[in-house]
Structure 1
Amino acid sequence: MNLAEKIETVSFDADRPSPKYGLKDLWIEFSQSTGLHAVNKIKPPSISPFSIRGLLWMLSLCSTTAFLVYNLIEEIGDYYSYPTVTKVTPKIRSSIEFPAVTICNRCTLNNTRLGAYPEMENYFFNSVFGLMNESSFLVLDEFQKPLSLEWWRNMSMEGSKMLTECSFGGEKFDCMTKFRPIFTNEGLCHTFNFNVSEIVQVRMAGHAKNLVLLLNINQDHYTFMSNMAAGIKVLLHNPRIHPDASSSVVMAAPGFSTYVALQKIEYLYQPLPHMAFDDMECVDTTSPNFVNPLKYYSHYTYNHCIMECLQMKVFSNCGCVGPSDPQDGPRCSLAKRDSCYKPFIAQTITNGNFVGECACVSECMFDSYTTQVSSSSFPAKVLINKLLNITGAQNKETMTDNVLLLRVFYDQMMITSITQQPQYTVASLFSNIGGQMGLCLGASILTVMEITELLVFIILFLCDKCRGRKARNRINNW
């Protein structure tokens, strides 16, 4: 072919109109390059004209795509419902933080101290049996004036006489140097290991290696009280929280040696957007952004929040505070205590809306103590004479009515950790989505990019059509 013929041929090809490019060509080119399964089956000649083979492949692809979309919607819906799972893990520890132990005599007031007010015993008798009336408060000015903490302290049982002998870890110590007097709902109590700079640690389990107390409850000094019982009430709680927020309560009676075996449980729940307690959230008090909303308790807990809310409501209604209330204000008189303070508390805590009005939220991390209590007769005959000298009791009967031995200990060096964990993480979500895509279409994340690219080309193709331009083959040209 000479040069003139070649020029004529090129000129003829240039003048020939290019073939029309359509969506069908776009689909064919995509089906030839994509990694999606079965897409390459749905192209001419299997679908043009339609064949049974082409229809079956189209039906299979559509059904698996629909199944994939359904599963993906379910999967993403589950992820954004923020489900959790709970993991229980026993942990062996070389040392465990010992709880605060609060000892309350079942009668915290001393009748011999109240003897300075002759009508006091009659007042407490009427209070116990519901015989109070307005005339009961008119006998003494002592019933009408606010009672200071010093008054309550002077009228209470002495801790130095109740706590006879104390030891921890097998070593004896002076009881009153380690036990701190503190007012609770029970009255004046005494607490070991509460709100101290160095919290006591336990490094060995067993009833002889932890706290051992010999107590004398002095029943001869009892007055009339609502519980009408003799013995001590033991509150076991975190060393940072007030005894009234105690998680475990144990009763110990005179004439017995009471063993309290402890097990510590740590709880860790997930903050928002997860729901820690079914339909309730928790607040992460360990977060650097957390600000304690409480006015009178330095350590935020759910129980502290409820207690403060109740105390503020009582003060707003009665204009006075009780001996154990931390806020400032005039202390209630006996008349105010029985006519307003105690009835208002009883009415409020039975109100079903009370907790909701306080709007208290549980902390995400807290602990509690479970106990196993056992007892045996105390003292053994061989110890009677020795204990008579230690306790100052006059005879065996007096000692049996007043003396008890209390042992509080960890039964093993183990903590049970109950941890709430997210059921879904970002990694598990993508793994599940990838598994669904691989099962249905043999697809991967890169396949999603291929489909995205196809949609972009379709949009550009339609834009060209709307503008009156000739659609371009962008798959091969880009």
Structure 2
Amino acid sequence: MTQRKSSLPSLFSPSLFPEDGVTLHCFRRRREIHRRKLAWMIGGKMAEEQPSNSNVAESFSFPGVKHQDSCWSDIDIAGFQTVLDRQANLIRRLIWLVVLTICFALMLLQTLDRLNYYLTLPVSTTVRVIRNDSLIFPSITLCPYRDTLTRDATHLDLEKLQSLYETNFPGGEDFNDPVEAMYKLADMYDVVTLWKLSGWELENEISSCLQARLNCTQNGQVERIFTVLGYCLHFPGQPVTVSGHFYGFNIKLCNKDNATDKINRFYMMISDRYSTHDIRALTHGFFLEQGWNKEVAVSLKHFQAENKNHAPCSPDQSMTVSRCISQCFHKTLVEKTGCRMPYMNLFNFTSVPYCNTSQQLRLAEDLQKDLLWEGRGWHPASCQCGYASTCSQYLYETSSDTFARHDECAQYKVYFIDMTYEETKEEFAYDIISLLCDIGGTLGLLLGASVLTVIQFVDALSRQIAKCLMKTPELVKRQKSSMFNIVQTIVKPNEY
């Protein structure tokens, strides 16, 4: 049996070189045909003998032969396939590579900018004036005015103090100095008991009290509380449905004719229902003497804030700035004295005993004067309460007018101007939907891509990584071999 020679001509066959009468053009054409036939036979033989190792054929690129099972063939970004095509013109590939790189860099910068802006939680603020059928009236705290916070007894009723002193020291010294008598009694009573037994009873000073034309002392809404000014009366805010001068809070204070010790000056604080009154009564109020009237017009403002990283707030409406400042002040005073005053009744300090000696009381009063009046050793700014506030807060804006009376009484009038309130509301201005829209617009404008294109890219990248990890050392070695060795290994002469 005779053997036929292989149909594959030798790459260096003399018949491929130009002979006499053969033009250079014909030579190049015959060489191209020979090369294409060689590439086709290599691909076919490898598919028959090694179907599982198709990567060997893919590792070589021949003009006119495209490998359809490439991991990146499904990416639809303009110019991306041109960059990967080894048969394309080099300059064309470089131009597309530069264009895609610039567009990708701009897309990445724009995406990072939008993402950083989203993480700052930007808000937009809207202000509206709303008319309502009812409004919450502010809480009102009425106290006797105290000139100073140390070494005085103006926050105590001298008649009651003298009676208590004579009861405990019947054969002792005469009641000459109220301050020294107070400190002597402090060795027998704790400070809260002393204030209760000898404090002012402002109920006896009230000549009339009306709130929305109802008697405010008979509806069970009056409370006695302690503040830094002494024993005070507190009127909690109630909903009102009518505004105007004659439908607010009206209280008239007159001294008894037979009283030897009189309250000549008063202090009134207006606040919302959640604010503390212990030390705030000293700074947020109106001073009034007997023989004068004070009219206070009130307008309501409602602030609705969003909880942000740089300005956090609490949904609990009792978490106010005034409560935070009070806790900070109480902590400072307790650390330096080891006891607490009657107005220090917050939950964190209920286990601390009241001051029950004259030495502790002197130290506490000296400290509260230094801390509150002089500002030595403590300041509200040091408490870091700027963001310790509630997200929903009601504030009362006031404007007052004072004029003289023709008797020895003092009168307060507090009322709403009208039934409208101002609402200031924060809303997040850039949510997740806006972020996705901006990123999608950037992808479409600069790369002509969409979410599905991104998924295609991730899928192709994962397949390429998996393919690289699954390559065997023998296969890698074969891919690095020369074309001549592959041809000699795979393409063999056919035998008959």
SS at 2:58 equivalent: coil
Q: Tell me the amino acid that sits aligned with residue 202 of structure 2.
A: G
SS at 2:341 equivalent: coil
Instruction: Choose which of 426, 433, 448 in structure 1 pairs with 2:439.
Output: 433
Change (3 A) 1:284 1:74: same
- Whether 1:256 aligns to 2:262 is no
- Whether 1:50 aligns to 2:112 is no
Q: Tell me the amino acid that sits aligned with residue 106 of structure 2.
A: F
SS at 1:362 equivalent: coil
Tell me if structure 2 keeps the 8 A contact 1:71–1:436.
yes
With normalisation by structure 2, the TM-score equals: 0.67
Larger radius of gyration between Structure 1 and Structure 2: 2
Please show how residues 7-406 of structure 1 align to structure 2 within 5 Å. 16-18=45-47, 20-22=57-59, 33-39=74-80, 42=83, 44=85, 48-51=88-91, 53-107=92-146, 108-116=155-163, 122-124=177-179, 137=180, 141-142=184-185, 144-174=187-217, 177-193=220-236, 200-216=238-254, 221-222=261-262, 231-244=265-278, 245=280, 248-271=284-307, 274-276=309-311, 281-285=312-316, 300-326=319-345, 327=350, 329-333=353-357, 335-338=359-362, 340-347=363-370, 350-351=376-377, 362-379=388-405, 396=406, 399=407, 402-406=408-412
What displacement does 1:451 show? 1.1
What displacement does 1:29 show? 6.6
Q: Tell me the amino acid that sits aligned with residue 310 of structure 2.
A: M
Query: CA-to-partner distance for each residue in 1:187-227, whole Å, 9 max, x for gaps?
Result: 0110111xxxxx6112222222221222236797358xxxx
What is residue 132 of structure 1 aligned with on the other side? none
Change (3 A) 1:254 1:174: same
What displacement does 1:361 show? 6.9
Q: Distance in 1 between matches of 2:82 and 2:441?
A: 23
Q: Distance in 1 between matches of 2:90 and 2:134?
A: 77
Q: Distance in 2 between matches of 1:177 and 1:364?
A: 29
What displacement does 1:65 show? 0.5
Tell me if structure 2 keeps the 8 A contact 1:217–1:231.
no
What displacement does 1:435 show? 2.1
Q: Distance in 2 between matches of 1:217 and 1:373?
A: 27
What displacement does 1:407 show? 1.6
Q: Distance in 2 between matches of 1:22 and 1:204?
A: 88
Tell me the C-alpha RMSD between the 2 structures: 4.0
What is residue 168 of structure 2 aligned with on the other side? none
Q: Tell me the amino acid that sits aligned with residue 240 of structure 2.
A: V
Tell me if structure 1 keeps the 8 A contact 2:271–2:396.
no
Query: CA-to-partner distance for each residue in 1:93-133, whole Å, 9 max, x for gaps?
Result: 22222221101121543344345458767455xxxxxxxxx
Tell me if structure 1 keeps the 8 A contact 2:301–2:397.
no
SS at 1:367 equivalent: strand
Q: Distance in 1 between matches of 2:390 and 2:400?
A: 33
Identity %, equivalent residues: 16
Tell me if structure 2 keeps the 8 A contact 1:183–1:189.
yes
Tell me if structure 2 keeps the 8 A contact 1:322–1:332.
no
What displacement does 1:436 show? 1.8
Aligned residue pairs total 397
Gaps of 5+ in 1: 1-11, 125-136, 194-198, 224-229, 287-298, 380-395, 472-478
What displacement does 1:44 show? 5.0
What displacement does 1:167 show? 1.4
Q: Distance in 2 between matches of 1:138 and 1:178?
A: 34
Change (3 A) 1:322 1:70: same
Tell me if structure 2 keeps the 8 A contact 1:306–1:360.
no
Change (3 A) 1:469 1:31: closer
- Whether 1:456 aligns to 2:462 is yes
Change (3 A) 1:63 1:330: closer
Q: Distance in 2 between matches of 1:115 and 1:352?
A: 35
